[in-house]
Amino acid sequence: MPLINKSFIADRLMPAIDIEKFISQYLPLKKSGAQSFTCCCPFHKEKSPSFTVTPSKGMFYCFGCKEHGTVLDFIMKYKNLNFVEAVQEAAQYAGLEVVYEEGGSIDKEQLGRFNLYYDLMDKCASFFTSCLYQNREALEYFAKKRGLSEETIVKSRLGFAPNSYENYFKVTTGDNEAYTKALVELGMLKLSEKNNQPFPMFRGRVIIPILDIKGRVISFGGRTLGDEKPKYLNTSESPIFKKRKELFGLYEVLKAHNNRPSRIVIVEGYMDVIALRQYGLDIAVASLGTATTENQLRLMFRYTSQVICLYDGDNAGRKAAEHAFETITPFIDATMDMRFAFLPAEHDPDSLVREGGADAVNAILDSSQSYPEFLIKSQQQRFNLSDPSQMAIFLNSCIEIIGRITDDVLCTICIRLLASTLNIEQSVLFSMLKQKSVQKQNNAYTRQESEVKKEDSRDLLNTPMRRLIAFILQQPMVVQTYYEKYRISEFVSLCSKAKVRGVGELEFYLSLIHRDNAVSTAAILESVRETKRERTVRALVDVLFIPKKSDGSELSIEDRAELFFKLIAQTLYGALSDRVESLKLMGNNISQKQLEEMFALNKIINRRYN
């Protein structure tokens, strides 16, 4: 992915876009108060509007589902685009040319090559579809053996690759050498080891196209009509296809549910997804020849709050579920409803839905195990709990897994369920967890102690410095307007001399504001995107602590400036006073330089900040 210049985004792109006007292209925003607009959120179902756009900050925020961010976040979430694509779309809207880091730009030649990739893959898909209707055996495989309707076959763009060394090779490339090279790069052609001549990847196989999140063909899966080996064959990874990052069927799921499905079900096979979709269950996806990856899980949870792994009830299915469980454990939180369901031994999703319809599948999904339930039940199956020594090993195993959960709420839920299952006091398990956790710095029971040592992590508004930084992030124009009047440079210098905790972060955010005459909250957020500061900034820009007038309107700029001054005083006064007291305690041992420092600090405290 090309690297886009961050200064371009923060200093040029953000000031050039009025977020209210941009979002109004897609949503019916209505004025709400003096400085904001509102409507029903596009990212979750609601009856009363809770989606708010604040042009002065360049930000949107939903009080219902907590989605928030800049215009780039909106584009990514609303249009299913990645960050680079969102920047490109925003720049086009603003009439700007994207500035890339040196050596990171997408030149016209590169853009043309990617367009060629997508065009060739689409032509291959059309060729396979036309061939399907010319091969009776292939068509009957889908229609009779797999029970697919003509509508499903057409919508899924299913096809057939003839058992010929020419097939789509000649149709799509002709004698064009560049096209041939592109098909090799896409994995659609292979080069012979004997003479280095290209030949088709797929021959004599039914074909299933794989789409990206924008609906473009990026890969194919092929299956033999008989028992030849290998039975299943996929195109290799290419410039447009990374199998660990894509999910078969996700485009169709999002399209069917306006990008916000209530649940997504992950199954093992392409045909399972297609069969479920035919019976109205347009919620299924499948991984692409790999075990479910972290990227795929995170991708699904971008669009839904509930993901269900629906696997066979055999050992292979159990292992697949355990792998998904292990993969999500390090980053799962209480907002992610990860669940696990298993099919009867005689069925896969395809056969079950054909025999029992959507109701049979929904019954299994509705009785799925939650993440805490699966944690305990999967461990119970490994041990004989009537044996005290086995019980001890089981208990320690559960505690070790819970210790890897970084979310306080989910961690507590797991402990409560385990305590209830074993009829053990929760306090005993909490004590074990505190001692046994393999990641103490992320554990709920050591988090408070560790975070005190992390100057700039998650204090939020617990300190005067945090409140001041939150104000700076939310009201950069006020800070800019009163920067000289309040002698902010002197203030920062004093904070540094007094070793006020957090002064390094303060200096960083002030530097962002002081360099630009039109800085906004959105521009600051874009400056720290994909850095260690992003999470803290997002939390601080969302927290509500600046009061409003009695009628609900925003404070005047003078009132906000007065609040800014008070925050400066609260931040500095205590630290300076402590420094003065420490100097006084030195008595006769105080040096001339320290004496001058003490008088200077007293003078400043009495004059400016008391």
Task: Please state which of the ranges 257-266, 400-409, 560-569, 588-597 shows the lowest mean pLDDT.
Answer: 588-597
Q: What are phi and psi of 452, to 5 degrees?
A: -60, -30
Task: Report the domain count for the chain.
Answer: 5
Is residue 443 predicted with pLDDT exceeding 50? no
The answer for residues whose C-beta is within 8 angstroms of residue 128's C-beta and 6 or more apart is 157, 158, 159, 160, 161, 168, 202, 207, 209, 220
CA distances from 376 to 180, 417, 442 (A): 54, 8, 21
Average pLDDT of the chain, as a whole number: 86
Residue 241 lies in a domain: no
Question: What per-residue confidence (pLDDT) applies to 439?
Answer: 45
Is residue 513 predicted with pLDDT exceeding 90? no
Question: What per-residue confidence (pLDDT) applies to 440?
Answer: 47
Task: Say whether both 389 and 328 belong to one domain.
Answer: no
Is residue 85 predicted with pLDDT exceeding 90? no
In the chain, the largest separation of any two C-alpha atoms, in whole Å, equals 104
Is residue 459 predicted with pLDDT exceeding 60? no
Q: What is the mean pLDDT of residues 139-150?
A: 95
The answer for residues whose C-beta is within 8 angstroms of residue 502's C-beta and 6 or more apart is 455, 456, 459, 463, 465, 466, 469
Question: In terms of Cα–Cα distance, which of 57, 54, 20 is closest to 471?
Answer: 57
Task: Say whether both 282 and 340 belong to one domain.
Answer: yes
Residue 1 lies in a domain: no
Is 523:90 a contact under the CB 8 Å cutoff? no
Question: What per-residue confidence (pLDDT) applies to 45?
Answer: 74
Is residue 59 predicted with pLDDT exceeding 80? yes
Q: What is the mean pLDDT of residues 61-71?
A: 90
Task: Tell me the CA end-to-end span of the chain in Å, nearest whole number.
Answer: 52
Question: What per-residue confidence (pLDDT) applies to 140?
Answer: 96
Task: Say whether both 344 and 409 belong to one domain.
Answer: no
> What is the dihedral sign for C-alpha 476, 479, 482, 484?
negative
- Whole-number percent of the chain with pLDDT over 70: 89
Residue 577 lies in a domain: yes
CATH of the domain at 51: 3.90.580.10
Give the long-range contacts of residues 34-38, CB within 8 A, separation 24 or more: 34/553, 34/554, 35/554
Last residue of a domain, one of 298, 332, 367: 367
**Cα 74 to the center of its chain, rounded Å:** 13
Question: What per-residue confidence (pLDDT) applies to 318?
Answer: 92
Is residue 603 predicted with pLDDT exceeding 80? no
Task: Say whether both 414 and 349 belong to one domain.
Answer: no
> For the segment 529-544, what is each residue's pLDDT rounded down to a tens digit?
888 889 889 888 888 7
Is 306:257 a contact under the CB 8 Å cutoff? no
- Whole-number percent of the chain with pLDDT over 90: 47
Helices (H) and strands (E) in the chain, counts: 28, 16
Residue 173 lies in a domain: yes
Question: Pick the residue with more confidence: 601 or 361?
Answer: 361
Question: What per-residue confidence (pLDDT) applies to 450?
Answer: 37
Task: Say whether both 121 and 192 belong to one domain.
Answer: yes
Question: In terms of Cα–Cα distance, which of 542, 489, 604 is closest to 60?
Answer: 542
Last residue of a domain, one of 45, 70, 94: 94
CATH of the domain at 573: 1.10.860
Task: Say whether both 136 and 188 belong to one domain.
Answer: yes
Task: Please state which of the ranges 45-54, 350-359, 543-552 shows the lowest mean pLDDT.
Answer: 543-552
Question: What per-residue confidence (pLDDT) applies to 275?
Answer: 96
CA distance 207 to 168: 12
pTM strictly above 0.75: no
Quick one: tokens of 332?
A: 């799962």
Residue 161 lies in a domain: yes
Task: Say whether both 550 and 416 belong to one domain.
Answer: no
> Confidence band (pLDDT; 50, 70, 90) for 610?
very low
The answer for residues whose C-beta is within 8 angstroms of residue 54's C-beta and 6 or more apart is 19, 35, 36, 60, 61
Q: What is the mean pLDDT of residues 17-21?
A: 95
Domain with 87 in it: 6-94
> Crossing angle, helix 408-422 and helix 426-436, to 10 degrees?
130
Task: Say whether both 342 and 216 belong to one domain.
Answer: no
Is 289:234 a contact under the CB 8 Å cutoff? yes
Q: What are phi and psi of 595, to 5 degrees?
A: -65, -45
CA distance 183 to 189: 6
Task: Say whether both 210 and 263 belong to one domain.
Answer: no
Last residue of a domain, one of 310, 334, 367: 367
Quick one: tokens of 442?
A: 């992320």
Rounded to 5 degrees, what angle do the CA atoms 321, 224, 199 make?
115
Question: What per-residue confidence (pLDDT) applies to 66?
Answer: 85
Residue 209 lies in a domain: yes
> For the segment 95-108, what is each residue's pLDDT rounded down to a tens digit?
998 888 765 555 55
Task: Say whether both 201 and 285 belong to one domain.
Answer: no
Quick one: tokens of 137?
A: 């055996």
The answer for residues whose C-beta is within 8 angstroms of residue 520's C-beta and 6 or more apart is 14, 15, 56, 57, 58, 476, 477
Is residue 153 predicted with pLDDT exceeding 90? yes
CA distance 548 to 541: 16
Residue 521 lies in a domain: yes
CA distance 444 to 482: 41
> What is the dihedral sign for C-alpha 413, 415, 417, 423?
negative
507: number of Cβ within 10 Å: 13
Is 501:455 a contact under the CB 8 Å cutoff? yes
From the number of C-beta atoms within 10 Å of its C-beta (0-12, 13-18, 19+), residue 492 rates as middle
Quick one: tokens of 174?
A: 């002709």
Residue 275 lies in a domain: yes
Task: Say whether both 390 and 470 belong to one domain.
Answer: no
From the number of C-beta atoms within 10 Å of its C-beta (0-12, 13-18, 19+), residue 316 rates as exposed
Q: What is the mean pLDDT of residues 284-310?
A: 91
Task: Say whether both 129 and 200 belong to one domain.
Answer: yes
CA distance 220 to 310: 23
CATH of the domain at 342: 3.40.1360.10
**DSSP reduced 3-state for 390:** helix
